[in-house]
Amino acid sequence: MKKTLYIITGLLVSITVCYAITLAQQADATLEITSAVTEARVGDEFDVNLTLKNPGLQNVVSVRSWLDYNADVLEAVSIDTDESPFTLSAPGETEISTDQGLVKLGRSNISGGFAQAQAKVATVRFKVKTPYAIATPIEAYDYQVSELGHTSVNIVDQAFPVNILSGEPEALIINLNPGAQPYGGQEAVTELPPAEVIVTGYGFANLQRPQNLQVNTGPGYVDLKWDLSSEPELVGYNLYYGKTSGMYTRRRTIGRVSQYRLDGLNNGEVYYFAITAYDSQSRESDYSDEAAVIINEPLSSTSPFDEILASLLARIPLQPQNGPLVGWLAFSALGLGGTLAFRKNKSKSNPA
């Protein structure tokens, strides 16, 4: 009996490993977001090309490639799919949503699939609306490893759709109105090498570390707020964020404000945030406390709505050794699979 069980278990492991290897070999496609221009001025129009690279010559049946852009500074003018082999549009997925800042692209090949090395999916034309200087990203929206996100390249394997994208497409950065007055003090999103952040209490500028960082969330975005310092040396803030606690892979520079909305984030994923203050010589303060949130899960925010807290927050005894823990939320019944702990002396919320 035991021998039979060992054989069955071995077969299941072998099948699982082979299937995983097959999927890993399949995930070699990429989507490239490119443009012939890197700079544009108010009133200019420019084209952004979305190109499929399919080095494995797999039989691609559909491409979903929503683009996220800042509708305050850019206008999406048109979508051209005339040169695309993906000729069939999914319902409501070859359109521009100005209020959401999204270009919705969902296309299928009706001739049995596309198995060439490269294809143009679409060309999207944008127009510059703002007269101010800003480096603005145009990026893939809601990338997920599975085919369930809004950015995927799909084949059919044993009657099931499989996303063969090798990873999240790289964002395109367009510099608008270089040399003009900055747009709210915001600069480009800066990619950072992964490195552990150590909060020491002392920065490189004669500025206090930012206090009371809080984060709320909605579909694909977070709203952050903090206490605005009255220090005369303060010029603005740097927002750091990433998907690992204490390891921030992106930085966004913003002006002397006390709140900011960051969009283009993946629903259902945990993001971690911290901010620093900077002076006129770009010297930074120490990091604020970290805040974390599950995107589009409002109950994971650092300050959920009071009425939600009133019905779901349970009081438990204080724990002075770790700081006064004032309550907890259990999410398993809501399908969120975790807990959040709130402490009076921290602006940090860590999903367990």
Same domain, 172 and 195: no
Same domain, 232 and 336: yes
Same domain, 209 and 327: yes
Helix (H, G, I), strand (E, B) or coil at 307: helix
In a domain, 297, yes or no: yes
In a domain, 13, yes or no: no
pLDDT at res. 2: 47
Better-scored residue on pLDDT, 40 or 301: 40
Domain residues for the domain of 250 are 189-343
- The answer to whether residues 146 and 164 touch, using CB atoms and an 8 Å cutoff, is no
Same domain, 140 and 61: yes
Its pTM stands at 0.50
Number of domains in the chain: 2
Last residue of a domain, one of 151, 176, 201: 176
CATH code where residue 211 lies: 2.60.40.10
- C-alpha to C-alpha distance for 40 and 317, rounded to whole angstroms: 58
Same domain, 158 and 42: yes
The model's pLDDT over 92-107, given as tens digits with 9 standing for 90+, comes to: 888 999 888 999 999 9
Same domain, 194 and 170: no
Q: How many CB atoms lie within 10 A of CB 126?
A: 25
CATH code where residue 68 lies: 2.60.40.680
Poorest-confidence range of 21-30, 124-133, 142-151? Answer: 21-30
In a domain, 232, yes or no: yes
Same domain, 248 and 172: no
- C-alpha to C-alpha distance for 141 and 153, rounded to whole angstroms: 13
The pLDDT of residue 306 is above 80: no
